[in-house]
């Protein structure tokens, strides 16, 4: 690998830069990924997701747990559902929410592991 230096910094060759660019996702996927991670930037949504790691819950249970209104929780759940982070199922008149899949559990667990190091 050819190394160039400029002002004491290593500089990539154009060929090396092209190889890196080839490995980056397309712009649309990058935008989707940014939107995905933006959802995790809200502490209320994080609390909801972390609570749902413990067990399925209905809107009322989440609202009581977090000390918020049902409408505020419903709004946040709608966002989480639109981003495919939570799923729901009906049990009689009650709708129960849970993490959408193992990826969400893994992302949250790894995030917690990272900040607790």
Residue 3: the pLDDT is 63
b/e burial code for range 35-62 (CB count within 10 A of at least 16 → b): eeeebbeeeebbbbbeebeeebbbbebb
Answer whether residue 27 is part of any domain. Answer: no
- The pLDDT tens digits for 57-110 are 999 999 999 999 999 999 999 999 999 999 999 999 999 999 999 999 999 999
Reading the block at residue 114, the tokens are 């990272």
Answer whether residue 32 is part of any domain. Answer: no
- The pLDDT tens digits for 23-60 are 999 999 999 999 999 999 999 999 999 999 999 999 99
Answer whether residue 20 is part of any domain. Answer: no
Answer whether residue 14 is part of any domain. Answer: no
- The pLDDT tens digits for 6-23 are 776 778 888 888 999 999
Residue 66 structural domain: 43-117
> How many structural domains are present in the chain?
1
CATH number at residue 69: 1.10.10.10
Separation CA 77–CA 45 (nearest Å): 8
Residue 2: the pLDDT is 59
Answer whether residue 48 is part of any domain. Answer: yes
Answer whether residue 99 is part of any domain. Answer: yes
Answer whether residue 2 is part of any domain. Answer: no
Residue 1 confidence (pLDDT) above 60: no
Residue 102: the pLDDT is 95
Answer whether residue 4 is part of any domain. Answer: no
pTM of the full predicted structure? 0.82
């Amino acid at each position: 690998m050819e190394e160039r230096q400029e002002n004491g910094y290593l500089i990539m060759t154009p060929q090396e830069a092209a190889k890196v660019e080839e490995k980056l996702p397309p712009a649309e996927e990058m935008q989707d990924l940014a939107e995905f991670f933006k959802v995790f930037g809200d502490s209320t949504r994080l609390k909801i997701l972390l609570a749902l790691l413990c067990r399925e819950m209905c809107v009322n249970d989440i609202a009581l747990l977090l000390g918020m209104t049902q409408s505020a929780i419903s709004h946040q759940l709608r966002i989480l559902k639109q981003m495919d982070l939570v799923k729901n199922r009906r049990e009689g008149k009650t709708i129960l929410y849970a993490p959408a899949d193992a990826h969400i559990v893994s992302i949250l667990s790894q995030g917690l592991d990272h900040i607790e190091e």
